[in-house]
Amino acid sequence: MAKIDLTGRDFLKLLDFSAEEIRYLVDLAADFKAKKAAFTPVDKLRGRNVALIFEKTSTRTRCSFEVAAHDLGMGTTYLDPSGSQIGKKESIADTACVLSQMFDGIEYRGFGQEIVEELAKYASVPVWNGLTNEYHPTQMLADLLTIREHFGRVEGIRLSYYGDARYNTGNSLMVLGAKMGMHITLCSNRKYFPNEALVETCRALAQESDGSITLTEDVQEAARGADVFYTDVWVSMGEPEEVWQERIRDLTPYRVTMDLLNQGSEDAIFMHCLPAFHDLHTGTGKLIHDKYGLTEMEVTDEAFESGKSVVFQEAGNRMHTIKAVMAATLGYRE
Ligand code: CP
Ligand code: NVA
């Protein structure tokens, strides 16, 4: 097998990467994780700098980029959702050209996928997608690492996703599974199935990888024998307040419960990209409770807090996998 070299590449969506390249990034992340545990320094990218553009808020992704960059020896500049000229007084193309003069790489979290694609088109340094409406590729690498840590493999794993399956997380899990030979079931009210063109693309990829893509409205069917249960918020960042009522009505039947988890395989796990609404300890959770009477949303507190839940290990893996993406595309060498 030819040695994999991702130097200079953008990381915009998993569709742009082969299974071998994705495996390489996860292997590199596992190596970084072991080095971190052993206090082995990896600061070979000293003197480099990265720009972190966030047009939506973040805890995990921002912290992961910052800690990972610092571990690699790099400096970081954070541009918050309101603190830059991007899109308001300066075009994406001009921003890309300006930042490329100062930085060695650019992370972008924002709205349409076309924005990060345009940023990458005009930037002369690697651009990394930190979440768009359509895709969340760095989350997928962390999920893959977590699944591999738990099951020792990813091929043949049966992952059932419940909830809003037509947004960044649902779309990305479908692409991930199709590339890596997993059996992905997206379980939702059909209004929330991913767009048909993407489903077709993924089904074709799944045929080559011995994986499969199933869309169903049947909650029990999706649960039987599943190895991984996965869900995400019902209303994503950037969506209007007004959609809550309809989402609650449409997606409450697709809440992940302990009863569902118990129908999975013996060592089934629960995953969530986070943040999650599983109790009333959040501002939004309280507002929704006051307005609609719900005490938990996409996952019950019992399932979230259960021994099957690996959500915090998954969150920690964001940092190691994001480190791998920056290192690989910036030409890190041992
Ligand atoms: N999962 C995830 O992307 O979390 P943040 O929104 O906190 O970055
Ligand atoms: N679908 C969620 C993912 C958060 C990590 C959102 O876009 O808000």
End-to-end Cα separation, the chain, in angstroms:
20
Residue 136 is a catalytic residue: yes
**Cross-strand bridge partners of residue 86:** 90
Q: Show the ligand 1 pocket: residues with CB < 6 angstroms.
A: 58-61, 131, 139, 273-274
State residue 87's pLDDT score.
80
Q: Give the count of beta carbons closer than 10 Å to the beta carbon of residue 218.
A: 11
Probe target for ligand 2 pocket from 138, 230, 273, 322, with the most ligand atoms within 8 Å of CB: 273
**Cα 216-195-315 angle, rounded to 5 deg:** 75
**Cα 31-34-38 angle, rounded to 5 deg:** 135
Please tell me whether residue 256 adopts helix, strand or coil conformation. strand
Ligand 1: centre distance to CA 273 (Å)? 7
pLDDT 10s digits, 71-124: 999 999 999 988 777 888 899 999 999 999 999 999 999 999 999 999 999 999
Q: Could you tell me whether strands 269-272 and 158-162 are parallel, antiparallel, or unpaired per DSSP bridges?
A: unpaired
Residue 143 is a catalytic residue: no
Identify the segments of the chain with pLDDT beneath 50.
Answer: 1
Tokens representing 292 are 């609609």
Atom of ligand 2 nearest to the CA of 274: 5
Any ligand 2 atom below 6 A from CB of 237: yes
Question: In this structure, which ligand is nearest to the CA of 298?
Answer: 2
- Find tokens 């479908």 and name the residue: 174
CA nearest to 128, candidates 323, 313, 314, 311? 323
Q: Are 44 and 69 in contact (CB under 8 A)?
A: no
Ligand 2: centre distance to CA 278 (Å)? 15
**Ligand 2 atom 6 nearest Cα:** 236
Any ligand 2 atom below 6 A from CB of 236: yes
Tokens representing 308 are 């099957």
Tokens representing 227 are 């190895």
Rounded CA-CA distance 293/332 in Å is 51
State residue 1's pLDDT score.
47
Ligand 2: centre distance to CA 195 (Å)? 18
State residue 71's pLDDT score.
98
Rounded CA-CA distance 108/164 in Å is 23
Amino acid letter, residue 269: I
Residue 113 is a catalytic residue: no
Ligand 1: centre distance to CA 271 (Å)? 13
Which residues fall within 8 angstroms of residue 265, CB to CB, at 6 or more apart?
158, 225, 226, 227
Q: Are 237 and 275 in contact (CB under 8 A)?
A: no
Rounded CA-CA distance 279/305 in Å is 10
Cα dist. 38→11, 68, 101, 242 in Å? 28, 16, 36, 49
- For residue 108, give the H/E element and its range: strand 105-109
Probe target for ligand 2 pocket from 54, 56, 63, 131, with the most ligand atoms within 8 Å of CB: 131
Rounded CA-CA distance 316/19 in Å is 23
Sheet holding 127-129, edge to edge: 75-79, 49-54, 105-109, 127-129
Residue 63 is a catalytic residue: no
Tokens representing 206 are 């799944």
Probe target for ligand 2 pocket from 54, 143, 169, with the most ligand atoms within 8 Å of CB: 169
Cα torsion 253, 256, 257, 259: sign: positive
**Ligand 1 atom 4 nearest Cα:** 60
Atom of ligand 2 nearest to the CA of 168: 1
State residue 2's pLDDT score.
56
**Ligand 2 atom 1 nearest Cα:** 236
State residue 88's pLDDT score.
83
Question: In this structure, which ligand is nearest to the CA of 314?
Answer: 1
Residue 281 is a catalytic residue: no
Residue 97 is a catalytic residue: no
List of domains in the chain:
14-135+317-329 (3.40.50.1370), 158-226+228-263+269-307 (3.40.50.1370)
